[in-house]
Copies of this chain bind each other. A is one copy, B any other.
Amino acid sequence: MNHTPGPALEGPETPAVVVDLEVLRRNVRRMADAAASAGLALRPHAKTHKIPEIGRLQVEAGAAGLTVATVGEAEVFAEHGIEVLFIAYPLWVTERMARRLLDLAGRVRLSFGVDSAEGAAHAARRLAAASGGAGGALPEVLVEVDSGHHRSGVAPGHALAVAEAARAGGLEVAGVFTFPGHSYGPGAAAGAAHSEHEALTEAASLLEEAGFEVRRRSGGSTPSALLTEPGGATEIRPGVYVFGDAQQLELGRCAAEDVALTVWSTVVSRHESPEGPRRTVLDAGSKVLGGDRPGWASGYGRLADHPEARIEALSEHHATVVWPEDRELPPLGSRLRVIPNHVCLVPNLVDEVLVDDGASLRAWRVAARGRNS
């Protein structure tokens, strides 16, 4: 093992968020190909990266548009030339939000989520009031159904009432969607993909029996996207796949060489003994890595070049890395690459990422950073 930092690692001040362009492009292409082979439309979730350059790569590779979580994210990607946007979130539409949605719908093909008859009727009223009877394009809605994650979304059997409320308010219902978030756990992806299939199929059938044309049945987290069963979803919305992360690695959903984003960090503290564990401390903490750690994860991220090490504690500016007894601790000042546990948190913590094209580092701005509303 060579702990000497190479020339490529001498560059930026740490911690720095670095994207390997070749790996990123390969990930984008691979998911696009897989979706096309399965006959599924791909609407990647852009909350993972929040970066227009990456959104354009996804669309150029064949994505049918992008998914976002907030109106603010939609505005940023619309400003940067993305023409089809789905806000996969049950918006509670305020007066101001209604004006923003109408403005967006005049520029891009826009859809958003509803998960209650009351929310759908409210959205319809707000949008009608904001348009002032002026006509113009309205966003379409999709009914969110709960496929077992028990977050937002109605039970599939209740989807029709939501769709009817939207239609009664004058909104076009494009279909149904779900987020199989319970796919994020060891051995959980196949079961989640199956419950997604059941939920989408049940809800879509109820709508079709009532005369709705269900053009979109939307599902597909990164762990479950490639397990989508035929005849269920018509489109998938994976996000994490562009970068990969330690969670996907430990779930077996990506390989180490598929990880496109790492956080370069420096060993600032080193302790052979005698008090506490045998450890090094890195200058990358939760304010750049994000603090997510599911119970099944081995730590707060992984070291890209040292799979034997464990990040056993994380505070805002410290990652405490514990090493096996038989491994030498890397020296002070070493630069190490950290794979974050949950990569969706990371671009949101920095103004820009550094893109490594093999020859140099250039910056991409995280244009939708912080756009929570």
Contact = CB atoms under 8 A, between A and B. Distances in A.
B291 A345 contact: yes
Contact of A181 (B275, B283, B290, B315): B315
A274 interface: yes
Interface in A335-373: 344-345, 348-351, 370, 372-373
A320 B151 contact: yes
Interface in A265-317: 266-271, 274-277, 279, 281, 283-284, 286-288, 290-292, 313, 315-317
B373 A15 contact: yes
Contacts of A290: 286, 291
Contacts of A163: none
Nearest to A373: B13
Contacts of A315: 151, 181
Given A96-B13, A181-B315, A119 B268 contact: yes
A318 interface: yes
B332 A118 contact: yes
B14 A268 contact: no
A16 interface: yes
Given A116-B270, A291-B290, A351-B370, A333 B150 contact: no
A183 to B, nearest CB: 13
Given A155-B275, A270-B116, A345 B318 contact: no
B317 A372 contact: yes
Interface residues of A, number: 64
A181 to B, nearest CB: 7
A178 interface: no
A243 interface: no
Q: Which of A14, A91, A181, A283 has the most CB of B within 10 A?
A: A283
B286 A345 contact: yes
A330 to B, nearest CB: 12
A288 B372 contact: yes
Contact of A316 (B13, B287, B344): B344
Interface in A69-109: 69-70, 89-92, 94, 96-97
A90 B316 CA distance: 14
A146 interface: yes
B317 A287 contact: no
Interface in A104-140: 115-116, 118-119, 122
Rank and list the top 6 A-B pairs by shortest CB-CB distance, nearest first.
A150-B276, A152-B269, A13-B373, A92-B268, A69-B317, A152-B281
A224 to B, nearest CB: 16
B350 A150 contact: no
Contacts of A344: 316
B16 A332 contact: no
Given A119-B332, A181-B315, A89 B268 contact: yes
